[in-house]
């Protein structure tokens, strides 16, 4: 795939517009994990439009990069990004998401183009990616393997088995990203299962750890570029985000928006907040 020149402003505007697609999907379907969708969007946009060698034209190429959306309940953002990438039509996913008989179900569905595996039963993405990264290395494949996890997901024991195995095998072609928005359905991550020493915990398993601002595409770009230079060990990027980012005061950093369908009034407020951020970007 031809590498395009990095443009943080253009990608940030794209991420804001794709949040509107997510909003329309959830309004039309009557359900969705909107808070995490908004926090993870900048990570997905950076991966798909800046970092990864993945597209509809090369999904049969074993030398491509690989991606697993382990945080599968934020599927709305994933579908929106895949549609923008050209895997299917945006109008189709907005119309069919979570409708009876649709393949656009409420967690990633590998019957759809561009999706490697079904996910959403939390804790599976990283272990699977360890196996994929091992296979790529054994076959001398140039591709990198990426996964995005939620910070609430880190309470799953299989995640730490994945960290242990990834470090043991020194998988420098593996990059895990934690969407560190500090909120999950039942409250803060620190109340449910603390991660206050997350950097040190992951590092102790033999990983190189990078912390960055996960709602800043320029900083995400820098973190992913740095990750590519690390030798002999996998990389985990802790992306510090805000749950509901971009949706304004009504939804940002509020656990109640983990799974929530906006009212028509709330919808208008969120659109207004997204447009205001877009205008701010355009005039920088």
* Four-residue CA torsion sign, 127, 131, 133, 134: positive
In this structure, the dihedral spanned by the alpha carbons of residues 24, 28, 33 and 37, taken in order and rounded to 10 degrees, is -20
Report CA torsion sign: 227, 208, 128, 36. Answer: negative
Q: What is the pLDDT along the chain (284 residues), one digit of tens a residue?
A: 556 789 999 999 999 999 999 999 999 999 999 999 999 999 999 999 999 999 999 999 999 999 999 999 999 999 999 999 999 999 999 999 999 999 999 999 999 999 999 998 899 999 999 999 999 999 999 999 999 999 999 999 999 999 999 999 999 999 999 999 887 777 677 877 888 899 999 999 999 999 999 999 999 999 999 999 999 999 999 999 999 999 999 999 998 898 999 999 999 999 999 999 999 988 87
**Residues forming beta bridges with residue 210, ordered by sequence position:** 237
The Cα–Cα gap between 272 and 284 comes to 19
Residues near 247 by beta carbon (within 8 Å), at least 6 away in sequence? 19, 34, 38, 257, 270, 273, 274
Cα–Cα distance between 94 and 29 in angstroms, integer?
8
The 10 Å Cβ neighbour count of residue 113 is 11
Q: Tell me what pLDDT residue 164 has.
A: 98
Q: Please give the domain boundaries of the chain with CATH numbers for all domains.
A: 8-282 (3.40.50.970)
Q: What is the pLDDT of residue 32?
A: 93
CA–CA separation, 88 and 56 (whole Å):
9
Give the residue from 245, 251, 246 showing the smallest Cα distance to 266.
251
**Residue 2: per-residue pLDDT:** 55
Specify the pLDDT at position 184: 76
């Amino acid at each position: 795939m031809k590498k395009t020149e990095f443009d943080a402003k253009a990608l940030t505007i794209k991420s804001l517009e794709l949040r509107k697609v997510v909003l329309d999907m959830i309004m039309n379907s009557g359900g969705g994990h909107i808070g995490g969708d908004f926090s993870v969007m900048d990570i997905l946009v950076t991966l798909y439009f800046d970092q990864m060698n993945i597209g509809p034209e090369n999904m049969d190429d074993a030398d491509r990069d690989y991606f697993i959306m382990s945080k599968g309940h934020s599927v709305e953002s994933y579908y929106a990004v895949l549609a923008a990438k050209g895997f299917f039509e945006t109008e189709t996913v907005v119309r069919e998401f979570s409708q009876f008989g649709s393949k656009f179900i409420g967690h990633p569905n590998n019957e759809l183009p561009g999706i490697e595996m079904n996910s959403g039963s939390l804790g599976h993405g990283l272990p699977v990616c360890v196996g994929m990264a091992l296979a790529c290395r054994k076959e001398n494949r140039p591709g990198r393997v990426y996964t995005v996890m939620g910070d609430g997901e880190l309470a799953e024991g299989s995640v730490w088995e994945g960290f242990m195995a990834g470090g043991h095998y020194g998988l420098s072609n593996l990059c895990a990203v934690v969407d560190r928005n500090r909120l999950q359905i039942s409250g803060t991550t620190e109340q449910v299962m603390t991660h206050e020493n997350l950097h040190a915990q992951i590092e102790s398993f033999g990983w190189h750890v990078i912390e960055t601002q996960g709602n800043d595409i320029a900083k995400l770009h820098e973190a992913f570029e740095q990750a590519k230079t690390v030798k002999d060990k996998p990389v985990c990027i802790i992306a510090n985000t805000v749950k509901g980012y971009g949706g304004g005061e009504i939804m940002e950093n509020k656990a109640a928006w983990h799974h929530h369908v906006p009212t028509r009034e709330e919808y208008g407020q969120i659109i207004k907040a997204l447009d205001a951020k877009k205008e701010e970007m355009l005039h920088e």
